[in-house]
Amino acid sequence: MSTPPRHEQPQDAPRRPVTLTKLAEMRALGEPIVMVTAYDHPSAKAVEAAGVDIVLVGDSAANNVLGYTDTVPVTVDELLMLTAAVRRGLRTPLLVGDLPFGSYEASDEQAIQTAHRFVKEAGCDAVKLEGSPERARAIVRAGVPVMGHVGLTPQTATALGGYRAQGRTAQRALDVTRDALDLQDAGCFSIVFEAIPAAVADAIMERMEVPVIGIGAGASTDGQVLVFHDLLGIYDGHSPRFAKRFASVKEEMVAGVRAYAEEVRAGTFPAAEHTYSIDPDELERYRATLVPPAGIAWGPGEEM
């Protein structure tokens, strides 16, 4: 299908790119950090225009754009393709690529190789992984910044008893605390806290020295992250407790496509303003070169 080339529109006062140093400064100054997922070029352009600080191409692309039921099946190659598309739509936010399940757990060598692919092939500024402080340390030493992830870790949700809040007992709260501190000690520049009680997050925050991004972890974290499709209401049905809907995009999408279908079926689209013209003399010359269809004669003045 034909569409015109896409060109960047100049901005009057472009923001400066967000760096790890900038994020640390924001934390020190108490400036909230805004993070959101994006999975393709159009969503990247949208979050760029909205002025977010961090963009995560999450493994949640698996069930948000690729049709999988959960995040486990998504492959490195699939995420690299999506991340490269996001990269082409961003100028300002820090771009973080999610290392999918099975791409880093086996060894330090595997983890480093995967992280390097996200930097070299997709243009990531950093990568994110769930748990695994030893793998995080190896990747950091190999020159790639790492964002950690504790609490509800979707890649291992089955082992955690399903998609449910973590840290709701004293022991599990202590486990989450240790996980966070271990990732911090491993050199992570930032850590995501997902689906843990706000009071537990408050207590852990007193021990954190790097920016913490919360998703269902209360308001005391240094920033917040939501999934693009959740915050825009692109899907119907159940959504996590922490996923506030800021728009109802799916309703608008369906309404737009339905209106288009109705006009096509009614014969009102395309109208004259949607078509191209040709000079009458050129049309006459064109028709003069055609052979009439079998059994049909041209009108007066239209014979060859």
Mean pLDDT of 262-278: 96
Beta bridge partners of residue 57, listed in sequence order: 97
Q: What pLDDT is stored for residue 14 in this prediction? A: 76
What's the pLDDT tens digit per position in 33-83? 999 999 999 999 999 999 999 999 999 999 999 999 999 999 999 999 999
195: pLDDT strictly greater than 60: yes
304: pLDDT strictly greater than 50: no
Q: Is the pTM of this model over 0.85?
A: yes
Catalytic residue among 194, 206, 302, 303: 194
Mean pLDDT of 23-28: 98
What's the pLDDT tens digit per position in 115-134? 999 999 999 999 999 989 99
Phi, psi dihedrals of residue 256, rounded to the nearest 5°: -65, -45
Higher pLDDT, 18 or 292: 18
Note the maximum CA span of the chain. Answer: 94
Beta bridge partners of residue 192, listed in sequence order: 149, 213
Mean pLDDT of 176-189: 98
Q: Domains plus CATH for the chain?
A: 20-249 (3.20.20.60)
Is 194 noted as a catalytic residue in this protein?
yes
Provide the pLDDT confidence category of residue 291 given band limits of 50, 70 and 90. Answer: confident
Provide the pLDDT confidence category of residue 164 given band limits of 50, 70 and 90. Answer: confident
Contact criterion met (CB below 8 Å) for 87 and 116? no
Mean pLDDT of 282-294: 86
Task: Report helix, strand or coil for 57.
Answer: strand
Q: What pLDDT is stored for residue 302 in this prediction? A: 52
Phi, psi dihedrals of residue 257, rounded to the nearest 5°: -65, -40
Average pLDDT value over all residues in the chain: 91
* Of 117, 123, 179, residue with least CA distance to 142: 117
How far is CA 217 from each of CA 7, 187, 201, rounded to the nearest angstrom? 39, 22, 6
Handedness of CA 159, 163, 166, 169 (dihedral sign): negative
